[in-house]
Amino acid sequence: MKGVILDADSLGEIDLSPVTDLLDEWQVYGTSGPGETLERVRDASIVLSNKTPLTSETFSAARKLRLISVMATGTNNIDLDSAKKANVTVCNAMAYATPSVVQHTISLMLALATNLPAYIRDVKAGAWQQAPVFCLLDHPISELSGKTLGIVGFGELGSAVASVAKSFGMKILIAQKHGEQLPNRLPFDELIQEVDYLSLHCPLTSTTENLINSSNLSKMKPSAFLINTARGGLVNAPDLLQALSSNLIAGAAVDVLETEPPPESDLLTNACKDNLIVTPHNAWGALESRQRLVLQMADNIQAFLSESAVRLVDA
């Protein structure tokens, strides 16, 4: 039985032995382009992929394929209908990066609250060295305590962010899911008008695509901040830039973009400034989280080899 890892570079420097020790034969590729994937999976029984697409063409060519273990929670890169028709089991990873994403989300909130990018820039430029007093207070600094955090997507990540935010003394508001009626939830249109920080933790669907657009941004407080560590497509980038330049909101921090890696012409990466922070989709990437992911992949394979299954993904 042969195993293939299509995009091991997406995990960085990490110990893969919990996975590779399970089969006698493995082919481990750093990345796999569109013209390489078919040949690489043709004789594989087990395939691990993070973001490399596996299409209907893949399943037609890979006749021995029996298990796909997705090295992420999202499975947008897998044609699940074709996998089901080909009798291929698909598993994923769950809750492996919660501590990492939570600390990154809170870090972004703190960076915006303390105007950290502006003060780092000033120190590098020598402004502190030339200051007439012992400190610099040229940019506003605010506390998280007493502020209102709105959370869109109150699952594993959203609820964990809320728990940490409460320890800072923040008030938490939770957005209603589309079509649901639950107590202690606010319609999104109402929530965005009340929050000082809006943090996105929902999946990208036809309902949530471009959720943050000019219409919704115009309803937010001019002192409000947006945080997105979920999916780039939730935010309309041109509308966000317009909102920032016209002071409709005070700032934004994003860890995800619609296209990754971004092209040289990407709007947000080219517009980074004091009130716009962009990080390179690494909120999930703490060493502990990545090793936890590898262990979940090993667990998926072991369960499959034992003729059981865990973390199954349905078409």
143 in active site: no
- Out of 231, 258, 290, 292, which one is annotated catalytic? 231
The span from the CA of 41 to the CA of 173, in Å, is: 46
**The 89-91 sheet, strands edge to edge:** 25-28, 2-5, 46-49, 67-70, 89-91
Count of Cβ atoms closer than 10 Å to residue 12 Cβ: 10
Could you tell me the maximum CA-CA distance found in the chain, to the nearest angstrom? 73
Residue 103: both structure tokens together = 């600390």
Task: Indicate which residue of 25, 39, 143, 260 is catalytic.
Answer: 260
Contact status, residue 150 vs residue 194, Cβ threshold 8 Å: yes
- The single residue listed with the structure tokens 């009626």 is 181
Report the DSSP beta bridge partners of residue 227.
199, 253
Q: Please indicate whether residue 231 is annotated as part of the active site.
A: yes
Tokens of 299: 């667990």
The encoded tokens of residue 276 equal 């716009």
Q: 109 φ, ψ to 5°?
A: -60, -45
Closest CA to 111 of 241, 248, 275, 240: 275
Question: Residue 159 burial (CB < 10 Å; 0-12/13-18/19+)?
Answer: middle
- SS3 of residue 27 by DSSP: strand
d(CA 91, CA 68): 6
Active site residue 25: no
Please state at what angle helix 98-113 crosses helix 116-125, rounded to 10 degrees. 60
The residues annotated with a catalytic role in the active site are 231, 260, 281
